Structure 1
């Protein structure tokens, strides 16, 4: 069993692990650090989206951007420009191809080991990582390993989805318009909507997304709903499915921590970087990784910019409603998009809004489910 000492060890070669390495590489002393990347070798097949008013550090990996957002429900539909925001998409294969074929080759101080981590301990400020490939030692460890918490949150939903990358036999898509929510699908026992990202007039990613307390559906259930949705929205159009993606994202009010059991710094989903009520995480993870890299470089303590304060309160209220009254989901989101500009909605979801903006937004939502949930949570 071999032993090697590193300045930094990163556990997990995914969205968070690679974004952290990218940010560390921007620090002045980067070339002098010995860095270990531990990967389980399991390929990830997924993509990421985010909105922003400025360029992301990985903007060069953005596959497609949209200037307009569409919302649809059975009794309301609207498309709006969302300037100064743009909505961006990064394909998973583009992301991983860049890091595996370009970034790692350009940074020879990174050693990549494909293995499974068995245990992680910390003795006198030095970490020992026991893996199936041997024991590695590091002064600092960052980990994106997500473990089911022993005490989960009070509200624990799942956002699960399956998407088709499709090609149509004739132009049907508006290239500049991304459909974030289309509720013209059966709701059944969960909040369910379609999500459409057009890459060209004849190519798009179309997903069926559900917010539910149940686990992910069988692929056949998603596929049946996708088939029905496409036939309804684009009647008479022949569709070819060229690829698929499927995933599951936690939606929970669990109180995450900055540190793991051995004192390692947690990343990504493991650190609560997923916005509980939307499932968006890419930009939040990027911001977190930037401050973690700066903290390591300067020797300052890392802060923890996850959802807190009033935004955590808003998230808890909505999670409670979607758990106990999923049938209210369509009505709540329809009121939100009908009475609030899409730009202000994005600002609110980004947690950049003011108290005045939030009061106006909330006052336009159906008050009965929120008041009922507020009373229930106050009693709890």
Structure 2
């Protein structure tokens, strides 16, 4: 084998790949790390939000420089329930991630290219170059083989409203909107008194995204509230997997010799599609452990543990999709948001306790009890 050009190649400069590069630069500066991303900007065009309790205190130095907006509380709205939660909420803009990684790595270690062939210690680029490394980490996004999925889809726009929008804290879910086609909510982030990020999100069985429909919905939502939109300065879209079940051995065969990170390794919350807590934990673990000689095996072992821990969350995802007709799916989340705030925080962080799991299901279910029982009994 040719001498390595670098210690580690990270394929994909999204949230997970970027955080891994930053963590290694901070904690293992003696190692050479190369990141390969075909897009013009690392992180693409995205906003990632999280609760303070999602990130361990020891990992705060990794994410603090990336935070672009901060709030001390947030709100949820449902047809028969509304609530304000006194929990700190933060947002990271992809521009911050891009800038941080470019400051942390030498320019020649950030390669804008697509990979055409990937092995455990080498990558072939589209221009024919071959790069060798002591290990390769694939963080290029999700793989669906062996998985049973629903989808959380969204389109968001940053609106400039000169007369002001009147919000001082995020509305993480406004589910008072039409629910005819399935669980849907509007997500609101007030960046300033006159700047508001508005995202229309909905859960469906298919991955197709109707951008024009969502743009119209955002326009209607703003008009109903009397907001006179002067400008739309940002737009982002997403189709995130909601994991209802599957076969881990098919998703990530033991024979696959390439290490994985992020959604490609299944490191996300099955119901919410929430990836930041797992991305931070993975990057921290990688920087502290970095088993270069057995990286594929180590990351697969970590993914398998995550799969086992998240079995309950996959059941909740099945219940959302199968135990209620589309117009009534909001009731699952409406009931959830009546639970104690610490339980809600642990759920989003992927740290639900056994008692939390019992508490979430205790009492009369918000959907058909028989269909809920079938969802519980359904095999993965």
TM-score scaled to structure 1, two decimals?
0.85
Query: Counterpart in 2 of 1:163?
Result: 156
**Taking structure 1 as reference, are residues 61 and 168 closer, same or farther at Cα in structure 2, changes over 3 Å only?**
same
Establish whether residue 374 from structure 1 lines up as the match of residue 369 from structure 2.
no
- Match of 1:294, SS state, is helix
Residue pairs, 1:22-33, within 5 angstroms: 22-28=22-28, 30-31=29-30, 33=31
- 8 A Cα contact 2:117 2:125, kept in partner: yes
Query: Counterpart in 1 of 2:330?
Result: 330
In the TM superposition, what is the alpha-carbon distance from 1:365 to its structure 2 partner?
Answer: 5.9
Q: Please, which runs of 5 or more residues in structure 2 have no aligned partner?
A: none
Among candidates 218, 241, 244, match of residue 250 of structure 1? 241
**Taking structure 1 as reference, are residues 149 and 369 closer, same or farther at Cα in structure 2, changes over 3 Å only?**
same
- 8 A Cα contact 1:317 1:374, kept in partner: no
Query: Counterpart in 2 of 1:114?
Result: 112
Residue pairs, 1:193-232, within 5 angstroms: 193-232=185-224
Establish whether residue 273 from structure 1 lines up as the match of residue 273 from structure 2.
no
- 8 A Cα contact 1:336 1:364, kept in partner: no
Query: Counterpart in 2 of 1:18?
Result: 18
Q: Distance between the aligned counterparts of 1:46 and 1:158, measured in 2?
A: 18
Q: Distance between the aligned counterparts of 1:17 and 1:81, measured in 2?
A: 31
In the TM superposition, what is the alpha-carbon distance from 1:245 to its structure 2 partner?
Answer: 1.3
Query: Counterpart in 2 of 1:98?
Result: 100
- 8 A Cα contact 1:258 1:266, kept in partner: no
In the TM superposition, what is the alpha-carbon distance from 1:113 to its structure 2 partner?
Answer: 2.4
Q: Distance between the aligned counterparts of 1:356 and 1:377, measured in 2?
A: 18
Q: Distance between the aligned counterparts of 2:193 and 2:254, measured in 1?
A: 46
In the TM superposition, what is the alpha-carbon distance from 1:236 to its structure 2 partner?
Answer: 5.6
- Match of 2:290, SS state, is helix
- 8 A Cα contact 2:155 2:236, kept in partner: yes
Q: Distance between the aligned counterparts of 2:100 and 2:76, measured in 1?
A: 33
Q: How many corresponding residue pairs? A: 361
- 8 A Cα contact 2:277 2:349, kept in partner: no
In the TM superposition, what is the alpha-carbon distance from 1:206 to its structure 2 partner?
Answer: 0.7
Establish whether residue 136 from structure 1 lines up as the match of residue 131 from structure 2.
yes
Which segment is superposed worse, 263-272 or 315-324? Answer: 315-324
- 8 A Cα contact 1:185 1:193, kept in partner: yes
Cα offsets for 1:284-309 (capped at 9, x unmatched): 11111111222216978455166444
Query: Counterpart in 2 of 1:46?
Result: 46
In the TM superposition, what is the alpha-carbon distance from 1:240 to its structure 2 partner?
Answer: 3.0
Cα offsets for 1:62-109 (capped at 9, x unmatched): 011122121112222222212xxx211011122212222x2224xx7x
- Match of 2:226, SS state, is coil
Query: Counterpart in 2 of 1:312?
Result: 311
- Match of 1:63, SS state, is strand
Q: Distance between the aligned counterparts of 1:358 and 1:136, measured in 2?
A: 46
Aligned CA-pair RMSD: 2.8
- 8 A Cα contact 2:318 2:375, kept in partner: no
**Taking structure 1 as reference, are residues 285 and 163 closer, same or farther at Cα in structure 2, changes over 3 Å only?**
same
Cα offsets for 1:101-143 (capped at 9, x unmatched): x2224xx7x6232222111235xxxx23222231111221111
Establish whether residue 37 from structure 1 lines up as the match of residue 35 from structure 2.
yes
Q: Distance between the aligned counterparts of 1:38 and 1:236, measured in 2?
A: 42
- 8 A Cα contact 2:269 2:350, kept in partner: no
Q: Distance between the aligned counterparts of 1:298 and 1:137, measured in 2?
A: 13
In the TM superposition, what is the alpha-carbon distance from 1:222 to its structure 2 partner?
Answer: 0.2
Q: Please, which runs of 5 or more residues in structure 1 have no aligned partner?
A: none
Cα offsets for 1:30-65 (capped at 9, x unmatched): 32x333222213441111111123435221220111
Cα offsets for 1:298-322 (capped at 9, x unmatched): 9784551664446422332333432
TM-score scaled to structure 2, two decimals?
0.85
Q: Distance between the aligned counterparts of 2:309 and 2:302, measured in 1?
A: 16
Establish whether residue 361 from structure 1 lines up as the match of residue 360 from structure 2.
yes
